[in-house]
Amino acid sequence: MVNSGSIALEARTVDFAYRGPLIRGFSLQMCPNEVVGIIGPNGCGKTTLLKLLDGILCPSSGQVLLDGRQPLALLSRKEIARRIAMVPQNGGLPGHQTVFHFALQGRSPHLSLLGFESARDEEITREALRLTHLEGYADALVSEISGGEKQRLLLARALTQQPEILLLDEFTANLDVNYQVGLVSTVVRITRERRLATLVVSHEINILAAFCDRIILMSEGTVQHTGSPCEVLTAANLRQVFGIGFSVRQGINQAPEVMPLIQGN
């Protein structure tokens, strides 16, 4: 059990259902300076879980708690957005805005109802663009930058919120492997520098294995296995969750390397 004083965000036996149960008894503790990865098959509830952790959805039972004690259900959206930032899957990007002004939108939780951005807000935005290597694109239109740069921009807007907790949903999807590695490397670096508690949902098993401190293997709305990448990403555990065989070996950096076994006809 993690010391409650070091918990940034906690899900405590959370259940959620639409027409039927989707999340069942899910528990999680996220700590500062930690990158946690969630892996699981399509439809197992990963995106729904992120919405629960961001307070967009409310659990049917159980609680999501800031600092291990403050229920999200008692906070406003603006209060939550000052502490938690989520980068959604396929987040919309209006092409007519500049990169700078899109990222600047992340300051909205910190403004009054009729408030305008200050010089300090602009300074924070430029720092977020620097952290995500986009400072040279500040005046470019969003429509003019590449797919990988757009994903960095979504991350920059989240960082402009100055969150303590960062939630990322398939943010490396549809990118070339060099962009995937670069983007996850950037997330890990910022997590360490800012002491964020970061949760990454992805199908890229080997990338999460290489970069995450802890892995959660999820199936049918529940945690099946949790621990270090080496503890969780075993052939037996992966077969249990995905229903196919895997070859797992230790890579050069000691992280497991996973390869699905292709059966011949």
Predicted confidence (pLDDT) per residue in 135-152, tens digit: 999 999 999 998 889 999
Which DSSP string do the residues of 115-162 spell out, in sequence order?
----HHHHHHHHHHHHHTT-GGGTTSBGGGS-HHHHHHHHHHHHHHT-
Distance CA 52, CA 45 (A): 10
Residue 63 has pLDDT above 90, yes or no: yes
Predicted TM-score (pTM) of the model is: 0.92
* Higher-scoring residue by pLDDT: 90, 125: 125
Domains of the chain: 4-83+163-260 (3.40.50.300), 96-161 (no CATH)
Using DSSP, state whether 180 is helix, strand or coil: helix
Alpha-carbon gap, residue 133 to 12, rounded angstroms: 36
Pair of tokens at residue 9: 């965000």
pLDDT over 50 at 2, yes or no: no
pLDDT in tens, 12-44: 999 999 877 789 999 999 999 999 999 999 989
Looking at residue 179, what is its pLDDT? 87
Q: Considering the chain, what is the average pLDDT of its residues?
A: 91
- String of b and e for 169-206 (b: at least 16 CB within 10 Å)? bbbbeebeeebbbbbbebbbebbeebebbbbbbbebbb
CA angle 41, 7, 38 (to 5 degrees): 10
